Chain A
Amino acid sequence: MPFPAGDTLLILPELFLTAAASFVLLWATFVSRPRERGLAFFSIGALAATGLLLFVSARMAGTLPRSAFGGMFAMDRFGLYFKGILLLVGIVTILFSLRFISVSPYPGGEYYGLILFSTVGMLFMASGTHLASIVVALELMALSQYVLAGYFKRETKSLEASAKYFVLGAFSSGVLIYGISLVYGAAGTLSLAGIATAFTTAKPPAFLVIGIIFVGCGMFFKIASAPFHVWAPDVYEGAPTPISAFFAVGPKLAAYAIFARIFFVGFGPRAGDWSAIIAASAALTMVVGNVGALMQTNVKRLLGYSSIGHAGYALLGLLAYGDASGIGLWSILVYLLAYAFMNLGAFGLVILLESKGYAGESVDDFNGLAAKNPWLAAAMLVFLLSLAGIPPTAGFVGKYFLFSAAMKAGWFWLSLLAVLMSAVSLFYYFRIARAMYLVEGEGTLHWREEPAVSAAIALCAAGTLAMGILPGPFVQFARTCLLPFGP
């Protein structure tokens, strides 16, 4: 036996979810259209059970971190933190999709199956400690998502989103893999720990820097940061809206997990080579995202640009690599949790409005929402305040720690730019708030019409407020989930 049997225990959650996803696909062939809700509830149950298994296998694994499969996979609190959020994102996405899929002419079985498979890929990404396992998991996630983006394949927009996402995604994977090939040449190994050792002991050749830049470009694409962001607004606008919500949060979180792991653990000793590049991209991303959002009238596009801006803020945490307290990393962890809650929530409102016909995409569709349904308007207001970074919401907490991490690392101009861009973001978030509260609209909207979506929105709003009002426990928890790295 090359690996101890206990290694299988560590990937039990992933194994279970893979089996569940395959089961959904098989079951789907026997299920008639009106009964497809069963598939959705089964998928939600599977995701929740995976979360439980995560807990069980972490308990049974004993002392963390534990490495398995010859250094391919690590079970550590950093990975578990991401996995927990990713499973939650999966559940919320399916809640958003329930009615959306049942009123569409497209079948639900493959849809839910692909969401589960994509989540499997993301879970493996969060735990990958070897470039081979990371790349394969990344591709598993990405491939499922190319298909999901084009799932409404007789709608030109959806298919175009898929084509754009695919071409740019495959291209960026190519660049990433080419970069990895150069890193392999310089380090002589593909395991992150091995790469770190190789770079601390010997002076690597100059082509390593180019390899790191190429790997960075691949990462920038996956998190949609400038100059590789152009796909994001198009894909978010074109894809089915629950899938846009999924794209805006799930893959970004998973990509941040591998970004942090590759750059902190693997390329950590060469931080001098990459911090300037990340700083440049962060600055550009914040400006492009926030200024781009100013001109949007389509809410999905607006949220697309705003999520680009948010990717830029989170990059600030990576710059605080050298800080011994690990603030760079845990500020990203806190921020990403906040980001998941507030962004999913905002997309949820779009889905809720959209289900009244294909209308919820324009800012005007929010007109008079406060009069129609004060609860939904209040929830949207919470998400908007949080996205803009105003206390007492999760977004403020996240941004506060990120910006102070950048300050501590000595990037004053960048922190200043981030604050400035947050101020700019107020303008476009306020446009939606103004439409809800100050403009009169027509029709009525009751939350009971969409119980699943409303429940998911309530969950996100509760999370956003809880993190904003009582940030202590969240921050404390994130601080225990750091990676084993050091300058």
Chain B
Amino acid sequence: MIGVTHYVALSFLLFAIGVTGVLIRRNLLTVLMSIELILNAANLNLIAFSRQLGDLNGQLFAVFVITLAAGEAAIGLAIIISMYRLKGSVNLDDASELKG
């Protein structure tokens, strides 16, 4: 039978893939997409728990997470566009003026 554990496991897998993407990719666009995966993982968790607990709060919080994801995407993409205009590259480690 499919229970909450299945969903939690799937959500964690999604989270792990997202974290991996943030860690290994150089392209800012792909990094931003990986962050979206992480937020999706959190939503899956919230909604699976919400169903299991019979409590609506998880779904309501998920609405806010989607809102935050949209706002972050807007700003992130604006930063990417400005960066491309200035430097002709959207790679994170080409951002090298600041000594890391």
Tally of chain B residues near chain A (CB < 8 A): 49
A175 within 8 A of B: yes
With A153-B82, A190-B57 already in contact, the answer to whether A163 and B49 are too (CB < 8 A) is no
Q: How far is the CA of A157 from the CA of B98 in the complex (A)?
A: 7
Most buried by B among A136, A146, A188, A234: A188
Within the complex, what minimum Cβ distance (angstroms) separates B22 from chain A?
5
Known interface pairs A166-B76, A174-B35; A184-B97 also in contact (CB < 8 Å): no
Within 8 Å of chain B (Cβ to Cβ): is A240?
no
Which of B11, B71, B92 is the one whose CB lies under 8 Å from A163? B92
Asked if A407 is an interface residue, CB under 8 A from chain B, the answer is: no
A230-255: CB near B (< 8 Å → 1, else 0) gives 10001001100000000000000000
Residues A173 and B46 in contact, CB atoms below 8 Å apart: no
**Contact in complex: B75, A146 (CB < 8 Å):** yes
Contact B68 A135 (CB under 8 A): yes
Say whether B58 contacts A184, CB under 8 Å. Answer: yes
A160 lies within 8 A of B97 (CB): yes
B54 closest partner in A (C-beta): A188
Binary B-proximity of A300-316 (CB < 8 A = 1, otherwise 0): 00000000000000000
Contacts of B48 in A (CB 8 A): 185
Min Cβ gap B68→A in Å is 5
**Residue of chain A at shortest CB distance from B23:** A171
| A contact residues around B96 at 8 Å (CB) | 160
Contacts of A153 in B (CB 8 A): 82, 86
Query: Which one of B42, B61, B82 contacts A150 once the chains associate, using CB atoms below 8 Å?
Result: B82
A177-B65 contact in complex given A146-B75, A185-B8, C-beta closer than 8 Å? yes
B38/A178 in contact, CB under 8 A = yes
CA distance A345 to B52 in the complex (A): 52
- Complex alpha-carbon distance, A310 and B94, angstroms: 31
* A179 closest partner in B (C-beta): B42
Across-interface contacts of A457 in B (CB, < 8 A)? none
Beta-carbon contact of A167 and B92 below 8 Å: yes
What does the 1/0 interface line of A130-161 toward B look like (CB < 8 Å)? 01100110010001001100100110110111
Cα–Cα distance between A238 and B68 once the two chains are bound (Å): 26
A161 to B41, CA, bound (A): 28
B68 touches A178 (CB 8 A): no
Check B57–A189 contact: CB distance below 8 A. Answer: yes
Question: A275 contacts the other chain (Cβ, under 8 Å)?
Answer: no
Query: At the interface, yes or no: B13 with Cβ under 8 Å from chain A?
Result: no
From B15, B41, B68, A173 is in contact (CB under 8 Å) with B68
- Partner of B86 from the list A143, A154, A175 (CB cut-off 8 Å) is A154
- Tell me if A192 is interfacial: C-beta within 8 Å of chain B: no
B55–A163 CB distance below 8 A: no
Q: Is A224 an interface residue (CB 8 A)?
A: no
With contacts A147-B75, A178-B42 taken as known, whether A167 is within 8 angstroms of B31 at the C-beta atoms is: yes
A150 to B75, CA, bound (A): 11
In whole Å, how far is B8's beta carbon from the nearest beta carbon of chain A? 7
Q: How far is the CA of A406 from the CA of B8 in the complex (A)?
A: 38
Check if B72 sits within 8 Å of A170, measured CB to CB.
yes
Sample 14 A-B pairs with CB under 8 A, ordered by A number. Answer: A132-B64, A153-B82, A159-B79, A159-B82, A159-B86, A160-B97, A163-B79, A164-B95, A167-B22, A174-B18, A177-B38, A178-B38, A230-B100, A234-B98
The 8 closest A-B CB pairs, nearest first, are A174-B38, A181-B45, A185-B49, A160-B95, A234-B98, A178-B42, A181-B42, A177-B42
